[in-house]
A and B are shown apart, each in its own frame.
Chain A
Amino acid sequence: MAEMHSTDHNPDLAPHFETIDQQRQSSRLGMWLFLVAEILFFGGLFCVYVIYRVNQPEVFTFGHQFLDKNLGTLNTLVLICSSLTMAWAVRAAQLRQRMILTLMLVLSFLLAGTFLGVQYVEYSHQRQNALLVASQLAPDADIPAEVQPEEAISASVEGAPDEAPLEAPMVEAVDPGVSMIAPAAAGPAGLATAADRLAAQAERDLVNVDPAGAKTFFSIYFLMAGLHGFQVLLGMIAMLWLLKLTFQGAFDGGHSIKVGNTALYWHVAVVIWIYMFLLMYLID
């Protein structure tokens, strides 16, 4: 290649580009086109949301009560901070500040991990409350209302195998005074105390009196939040890759396009979450 570009020995310049600037512009243009595809992809999901919400607004105002607004706010702030650190990482890469670049990438990675951790806490709450996708909602629907909570629990244990194959294996309920672990909604009673079972049943009763389509809200919520979480996971992998490149000294020459494009991807994930936070958590 050296003879083709006798005036330029820059190792960062790919052979099919004339100049570094042209290479950077092309790379950026390609990234923007990818981001547009990403926006239209999430746009389809937002369209699903809008149509269902227009048709059944009460389902959304009911369903969103089961999302923790405080955790949602926390996650929004976490993502905004990660946006700052990623933008700062781009600056550091441009200025060849290897230490700051490393620090910012590590911070971004940790913040992204925090986001997923909080999401996990939320998902497990909803799992305990049987607020999963439509097919798993209201597992106790055919239990008569007059059945006592204790009987309802054992009835749901008997009904468990065919509706929740992924639940924990069946365990015979032992002495009700042994453990404080609350029962999973569609699973066995486990080792919970009687008081825990009553509380869990009260939560489930609350779910069971919902409008028939409340499951719609959580189907859409998990579809959107789950795909967004997947995007965050991909972003974290990209950050690890950038960290590896940083340690190898790939950005010491100020050729920051890889950091820049990863940051672009990350910022889109943050902006999508800002809208999702508003539309899922903050509706009344």
Chain B
Amino acid sequence: MNQAEIHQSPRVASVKSLLGVWIALIVGTGLTVGVTSFDLGAFNIWIGLGIATGQAILVALFYMHLRWDKPFNAYIFVFSFAFLGLFIGLALMDTSQNQADMIPDFGAAESVAPEMP
């Protein structure tokens, strides 16, 4: 292994950053458990998801080396979440807007219609 190859080798994470992220992850878990033990109504889940996403970003940036990687890898990762959001969002839209009777009385009127005259 010559000197040139060592220069080519990827960025080495410092022990300080490894331990720093580790502490942040532990604190984040403690915060999540703490926050969700209070009843904040609908906010609970959003605060929890926010902290979890913060933890995920820390892991991705430092432990998964995205901060030093080629940006293309990060684009792939971020876009996968964008498409996941689209997928879950559209599925939820159907769940929230679907009704047993989408166009009121449409089917009923048709079945009644032939007997009208």
Contact = CB atoms under 8 A, between A and B. Distances in A.
A224 to B, nearest CB: 14
Q: Give the dominant DSSP class at B's interface.
A: helix
A39 B81 CA distance: 8
A94 interface: yes
Contacts of A81: 22
A128 B58 CA distance: 38
B52 A90 contact: no
B72 A29 contact: yes
A282 interface: yes
A44 B87 CA distance: 8
A284 interface: yes
Interface string B19-61: 1011001100100110010010000110011001001100110
Interface stretch (A47-55, A116-124, A196-204, A228-236): A47-55
A88 interface: yes
A247 interface: no
B73 A274 contact: no
Nearest to A51: B95
Nearest to B69: A28
A47 B91 contact: yes
B64 A278 contact: no
Interface size class of A (residues with CB under 8 A): 35 or more
Interface stretch (A107-115, A187-195, A205-213, A262-270): A262-270
A210 B56 CA distance: 35
Interface string B68-80: 0110110011001
Contacts of A271: 55-56, 59-60
B37 to A, nearest CB: 8
Contacts of A141: none
B36 A282 contact: yes
A254 B6 contact: yes
Contacts of A44: 87
Contacts of B84: 39-40, 43, 46
B73 A90 contact: no
Nearest to A266: B63
Given A91-B13, A278-B48, A264 B1 contact: no
30 contacts: A20-B8, A29-B73, A32-B73, A33-B76, A36-B76, A36-B77, A40-B80, A43-B87, A50-B92, A54-B92, A76-B29, A83-B22, A83-B25, A83-B59, A84-B21, A84-B63, A87-B13, A87-B21, A88-B18, A91-B13, A95-B12, A253-B1, A260-B65, A263-B64, A264-B64, A271-B59, A275-B49, A284-B36, A284-B39, A284-B44
Given A25-B70, A267-B59, 15 more contacts: A10-B1, A20-B8, A43-B88, A54-B92, A80-B22, A80-B25, A83-B59, A94-B9, A263-B64, A271-B59, A274-B52, A274-B55, A277-B29, A278-B32, A283-B45
